[in-house]
């Protein structure tokens, strides 16, 4: 098991304002969480790191931000209406409902009874009414994955950017699944965020790209602070593959509750683009899918060498933001025993993920000169573009250090009497991990921190 327990994380997340149960004051909406003041910063930093590596650092990926409400036909032709189900069992004794694949030795995980119903399919998609009249036909779905809009907008992106395969479309956004048994904090929830890339390739090169993306994604997670020994690759058995997949690797992580999926990397073949394309035969295409009488689209590209149209294959690295947040918190959470016997909780997050980059702490909050200097320094550091710089004047210095250790602030800057009385002005900087302190001239502070955060 991981060194960090789920209780430690849940407690830290609530105490310091990372993650709260949704509708807490009404007893909570199950499987739904809200991100607090620090959670939103951490989550944004993780998403920004993904976007940077997927879009900015590559020359073959474009971005998209599509709607959450999804046309029924999209999810009908994608296969989700028919097959996006989990088989479900009910316990006849305690009435608990559970996923069939979560049952061990034929026993109800809640009460241990073996008196269970046969598994029945349960569709995981949330439906909602569109327009003022609820007559049962005018509904849309909340998307169960961000991917489908990437497929339905494929042609618009290709036409507006002149991209040629291989190239990808990246998207980050909310997805919704009516999970039967949400559990393990934000690991399995009903409303979550995904970071998905659909990478379009020529059929025949798909397996090679699948391997490349697997390597690239493991490397990226390591750069977010996950230790290689806590990351596992699991090749999904043929009989367990999703309805659209030819092959899938799961990147699994040692979460506090066990080793489970953090990201899936699927070879979706030409399944989706093919399915959203009108009458394949009529168009002279050869996607391995059925014909679509409702679509107007030809989601294909022209092969300049072979002088014919083809439907690209797609490799999809699909990561969960919430599971990502949980993973980096699991890895970063540390409890240390100090020489005086006290326990120090410190979140050893990678600097680029830390919710607060620098805390500026005035030694005496009732001294106007120190306060003014602290404000000046905060504003000066903010201009460096390193991220959130916070004025921390909420308590004494010991408490401020403890708080910033717990929320993972890499550097604290303390403004004291020497800062305002001596020339050149200096401050104390304290390193989160080593707790080492040194004095540095205020004039050199911005450059020093830029080097620390932007290296």
- Give per-residue burial for 77-109: e unless 16+ CB within 10 Å, then b: bbbbbeebebebbbbeeeebebbbeebeeeebe
372 contacts: CB under 8 Å, gap ≥ 6: none
Supply the minimum distance, in Å, between the C-beta of residue 80 and ligand ATP: 10
Supply the minimum distance, in Å, between the C-beta of residue 314 and ligand ATP: 14
**184 versus 205: smaller Cβ distance to ligand ATP:** 184
**165 versus 170: smaller Cβ distance to ligand ATP:** 170
- What count of Cα atoms within 13 Å lies in the side-chain half-sphere of residue 108? 18
Peptide bond before residue 174 is cis, with ω within 30 degrees of 0: no
Supply the minimum distance, in Å, between the C-beta of residue 217 and ligand ATP: 11
The edge-to-edge listing of strands for the beta sheet with 389-391 is 389-391, 358-362, 411-415, 426-431, 437-441
Helix residue ranges per DSSP H, 98-175 = 147-152, 154-161
* Residues 265-304, mask of contacts with ligand ATP (x by CB under 6 A): ----------------------------------------
CB atoms within 10 A of CB 38: 23
Candidate segments 69-77, 255-263, 331-339, 354-362, binder of ligand ATP by CB under 6 A: 255-263
Supply the minimum distance, in Å, between the C-beta of residue 345 and ligand ATP: 26
Candidate segments 260-268, 287-295, 339-347, 409-417, binder of ligand ATP by CB under 6 A: 260-268
**CA 425/CA 373 separation, integer angstroms:** 10
Residue nearest to ligand ATP (CB): 320
Supply the minimum distance, in Å, between the C-beta of residue 177 and ligand ATP: 5
Structure tokens at 69: 């409400």
**194 versus 280: smaller Cβ distance to ligand ATP:** 194
Structure tokens at 404: 């910033």
Question: 359 pairs with which residues across the strands?
Answer: 390, 412
By CB under 6 A, residue 264 contacts ligand ATP: yes
DSSP string, 172-200: EEEEE---SS-BTTTTB-SEEEEEEEEEE
**CA 455/CA 450 separation, integer angstroms:** 8
Supply the minimum distance, in Å, between the C-beta of residue 284 and ligand ATP: 32
Kindly determine how many residues on this chain lie close enough to bind ligand ATP according to the rule CB under 6 A. 16
Q: Which of 143, 188, 210, 403 binds ligand ATP (CB under 6 A)?
A: 188
Q: Which of 189, 273, 301, 356 binds ligand ATP (CB under 6 A)?
A: 189
**168 versus 320: smaller Cβ distance to ligand ATP:** 320
Supply the minimum distance, in Å, between the C-beta of residue 195 and ligand ATP: 9
**241 versus 397: smaller Cβ distance to ligand ATP:** 241
Say if residues 407 and 36 touch (Cβ distance below 8 Å).
no
For residues 381, 346, 19, 218, the Cα torsion angle rounded to the nearest 10 degrees is: 90
* Residues 140-179, mask of contacts with ligand ATP (x by CB under 6 A): -----x-------------------------------x-x
Say if residues 240 and 268 touch (Cβ distance below 8 Å).
no
**CA 315/CA 217 separation, integer angstroms:** 12
**179 versus 416: smaller Cβ distance to ligand ATP:** 179
**315 versus 374: smaller Cβ distance to ligand ATP:** 315
Q: Where are the beta strands (DSSP E) in 209-282?
A: 231-235, 247-255, 258-269
**CA 47/CA 39 separation, integer angstroms:** 12
Say if residues 344 and 336 touch (Cβ distance below 8 Å).
yes
Candidate segments 8-16, 316-324, 371-379, 408-416, binder of ligand ATP by CB under 6 A: 316-324
Candidate segments 126-134, 154-162, 258-266, 402-410, binder of ligand ATP by CB under 6 A: 258-266
Supply the minimum distance, in Å, between the C-beta of residue 114 and ligand ATP: 25
Supply the minimum distance, in Å, between the C-beta of residue 248 and ligand ATP: 8
Map the footprint of ligand ATP across residues 191-230, applying CB under 6 A. Answer: 192, 194
By CB under 6 A, name the binding residues for ligand ATP.
145, 177, 179, 188-189, 192, 194, 261-264, 318-320, 322-323
């Amino acid at each position: 098991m991981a060194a960090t327990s789920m209780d430690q994380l849940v407690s830290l997340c609530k105490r310091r304002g990372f993650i709260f149960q949704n509708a807490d004051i009404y007893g909570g909406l199950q499987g739904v969480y809200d991100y607090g003041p620090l959670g939103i910063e951490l989550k944004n930093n993780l998403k920004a790191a993904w976007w940077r590596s997927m879009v900015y650092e590559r020359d073959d990926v474009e971005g998209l931000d599509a709607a959450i409400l999804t046309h029924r036909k999209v999810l009908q032709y994608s296969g989700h209406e028919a097959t996006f189900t989990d088989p479900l069992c009910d316990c006849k004794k305690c009435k608990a409902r559970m996923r069939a694949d979560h049952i061990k030795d034929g026993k109800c995980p809640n009460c241990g009874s073996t008196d269970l119903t046969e598994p029945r399919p349960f569709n995981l998609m949330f439906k909602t009414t569109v327009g003022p009249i609820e007559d049962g036909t005018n509904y849309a779905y909340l998307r169960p994955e961000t991917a489908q809009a990437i497929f339905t907008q494929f042609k618009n992106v290709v036409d507006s950017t002149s991209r040629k395969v291989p190239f990808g479309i990246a998207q980050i956004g909310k997805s919704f699944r009516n999970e039967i048994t949400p559990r393990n904090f934000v690991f399995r929830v009903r409303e979550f965020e995904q970071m998905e890339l659909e990478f379009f390739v020529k059929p025949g090169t798909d397996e090679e790209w699948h391997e490349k993306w697997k390597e690239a994604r493991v490397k990226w997670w390591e750069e977010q602070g996950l230790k290689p020994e806590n990351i596992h690759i699991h090749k999904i058995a043929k009989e367990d593959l999703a309805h659209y997949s030819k092959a899938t690797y799961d990147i699994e992580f040692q979460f506090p509750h066990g080793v489970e999926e953090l990201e899936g990397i699927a070879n979706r073949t030409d399944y989706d683009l093919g399915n959203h394309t009108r009458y394949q035969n009529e168009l002279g295409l050869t996607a391995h899918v059925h014909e679509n009488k409702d679509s107007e689209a030809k989601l294909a590209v022209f092969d300049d060498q072979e002088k014919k149209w083809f439907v690209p294959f797609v490799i999809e690295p699909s990561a969960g933001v919430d599971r990502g947040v949980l993973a980096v918190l699991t890895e970063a959470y540390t409890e240390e025993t100090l020489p005086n016997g006290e326990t120090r909780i410190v979140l050893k997050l990678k600097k680029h993920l830390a919710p607060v980059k620098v805390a500026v702490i005035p030694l005496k909050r009732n001294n106007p000169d120190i306060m003014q200097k602290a404000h000046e320094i905060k504003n000066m550091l903010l201009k460096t573009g390193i991220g959130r710089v916070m004025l921390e004047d909420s308590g004494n210095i010991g408490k401020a250090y403890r708080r910033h250790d717990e929320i993972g602030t890499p550097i604290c800057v303390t403004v004291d009497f020497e800062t305002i009385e001596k020339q050149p002005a200096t401050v104390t900087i304290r390193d989160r991990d080593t707790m080492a302190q040194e004095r540095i001239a205020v004039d050199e502070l911005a450059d020093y921190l830029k080097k620390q955060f932007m290296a």
